[in-house]
Amino acid sequence: MNPYWLPHIARHAALLLALAGCLLGSLACTPPQATPVPEHLRVAVAPSAAPLLDELGAHYRARHSYVTLEPLELGAANAIRALRNGTADLAFVERTLDPAETLDPETGRERLTVWPLATGALAVVVHPSNPVPGLTLEQLQGALTGSVRRWSELGGEDRTIGLVCREPGAPLRDAFERGLGGTRVIGSAVVMPGDEAIADYVASHPGAIGYISAPWAGEQVKVLALDGALPDVATVAEGRYPLTYPLLLVTPSAISSKAKAFVDYVYSHEGQGMVRQSYAPAR
């Protein structure tokens, strides 16, 4: 080897050794990443919003594997009660809250915070074999009150109309009757406890008609247009579909950090993208 290169080789070797030493030293001094503490989030959810929570929860846990979401299917009154007594961290509620429900009854201070989330639609559903494509609001009111009793009066087969609905006081029943100008459902209607039960009943009774939250309207039932509008996100957002209800997030005013993190995700671009697949913006 040419003696001229020896000093240069020595300098490069010394530089490489110095760099290697710095690298090893920095690795040795870098503290290990802390393992996140497991978190358990209890979410009270209206049955109509359960599919939305399932989707949001799955994507949230994909980013935060240390979080466990426990869905608690509860009606609005029980969800509010769970928030107040500390057995739920947040709630999806399908009706507006009275001002008194958000206040501490002893101090009068705000105890719950309401986060408007979306506007949902109630789908009027019939058996898939029913040939009627849609109804006017006046025709639907007639079926609800019993003044129209047979499908043949509405352009269908000569079959008795069988109404199925939620129990009195259920938020979606209140929204349904409110959307029809306060029309009360006939007392002979079959009462079911939730959207899934109503959809199953309608799917097995050719003369039945009922209403469910639009995300629950699968292929087992046929959705009717009302005054020419179907219950989709666009018609609800434009105000052309009459049967709607509010979907709210409700949390304790003294919100926990784990609940606030999930609320932030729901209102993020990704979370709102999932909400907007089935719901219109909040009004």
For the residues 208-229, what does the mean pLDDT come to? 96
One DSSP character per residue, 215-246 reads: GG--TTSEEPEETTB-SSHHHHHTT----EEE
- pLDDT of 15 > 90? The answer is no
Are the folds of 39-119+246-281 and 120-244 the same? yes
Residue with tokens 């503290």: 31
- pLDDT of 16 > 50? The answer is no
Q: What percent of the chain has pLDDT over 90?
A: 81
Tell me the domain boundaries of the chain: 39-119+246-281, 120-244
Q: Taking each helix axis from N to C terminus, what angle separates 50-63 and 257-266, rounded to the nearest 10 degrees?
A: 110
Tokens of 68: 């466990």
Name the superfamily (CATH) of residues 39-119+246-281.
Periplasmic binding protein-like II (3.40.190.10)
Residue-wise pLDDT for 24-56, tens only, equals 454 444 556 677 789 999 999 998 999 999 999
If we measure between CA atoms, which residue out of 244, 275, 277, 280 comes closest to residue 92? 275
Residue-wise pLDDT for 84-105, tens only, equals 999 999 999 999 999 999 999 8
Query: Whole-model pTM?
Result: 0.84
Tokens of 3: 């003696």
Name the superfamily (CATH) of residues 120-244.
Periplasmic binding protein-like II (3.40.190.10)
Residue-wise pLDDT for 176-218, tens only, equals 999 999 988 888 899 999 999 999 999 999 999 999 999 999 9
Residue 20 CB-density burial (10 A; 0-12 exposed, 13-18 middle, 19+ buried)? exposed
Residue-wise pLDDT for 102-139, tens only, equals 999 888 899 999 999 999 999 999 999 999 999 999 99
Residue 59, φ and ψ in degrees, nearest 5: -70, -35
pLDDT of residue 33: 64
